[in-house]
Structure 1
Amino acid sequence: MKSVLLRSVMVAVLVSLAGCQQNTTQSEKRIFKAETEGFAEPESSDWVKYITPLREYMYYRTQAVVNKDTTILWGRYPDLKDNINLKQGVNAEGNEVESLNQSFDLIDANYNIESYERIKVKRINDSEAAVLMHGSIIYLGNDFDETGGEYVIEVFLEHRDNHWTVVKTDEYTLPEYKEWMNGQE
């Protein structure tokens, strides 16, 4: 029952992020890209170098939402405040901060990057990689009720100053998510 409720809440969040429906051609391109163009589970030795920047990103993302302040995230990842496209789910974290805080008084958050499946990585070159995350975020309200749920995000990383950093995010919108789920069955 709780799983159904969480999925329903996440669908509502995705709808608010999605705005207008997206062209299905783009959704099909994304599914094809994610499933056939080099995304694969990393070896254990490589997993560590990708999971660490993803944890850091999720920490700053959830802190921005809980503290109602996008500068928490954008101060750490300034590239995310550029090229925002809510219809495509690109760099849409600012909208999440705004929309969740209109409806809820949030006091805490928990995330699990691999709650649905292990990360998948596509190396673009020696200094760039894309990571596909299928996880969950749960926010706790001041009434101790929960909101949040499942997400699918492509996170683009660059190797800068001897560590990997997030330079772009592309969260699946509701139409893309539905297409992706249909492709998983």
Structure 2
Amino acid sequence: MSDATDLNELKRRMDGGINAFKSDIASLRTGRASANILDPVTVDAYGSRVPLNQVANITVPEPRMLSISVWDRAMVQAVDRAIRESNLGLNPIMDGQTLRIPLPELNEERRRSLVKVAHDYAEKSKIAVRNVRRDGMEGLKKAEKDGDLGQDESRSLSERVQKMTDETITEIDRLLAAKEKEIMQV
């Protein structure tokens, strides 16, 4: 087991958990319009589920409005249905091949539910990071058992893996706190 390669791979996988978390929280609504809000929406199109941005163009014409220009007239109903069923609390208004989505002010209850969703995303990311740590620790134990690593070297690498894990989880907590503050800001 080469220490640099494996630690770099573990770090890359942990960073992937942070990036996935950033992507998840970017889709949470904070009171102003953003095309990222619709990232989790998938549409039944041509016999499969595809992301909304592959069947339509999403723009933000006003701070509290989204505009979706569907490319294929036959897909307008499917896009409307997908947005309504996405649990984002959005109600599109059809205007030909364009859907307009007014974003209502977030009330206190909705803000709190969005914070809970953000916490769920954070917990999933932390679990992914811990799984990476577990894989790394198991690899170190196996290498030590096989005689590829000495006990001291294995312990030293284990401590480095734990330190990387702690730093990654701290970063997730920092991002969560910032998003929570952004959501709760009136």
Q: TM-score with structure 1 length normalisation? A: 0.25
Q: Greater strand share, 1 or 2?
A: 1
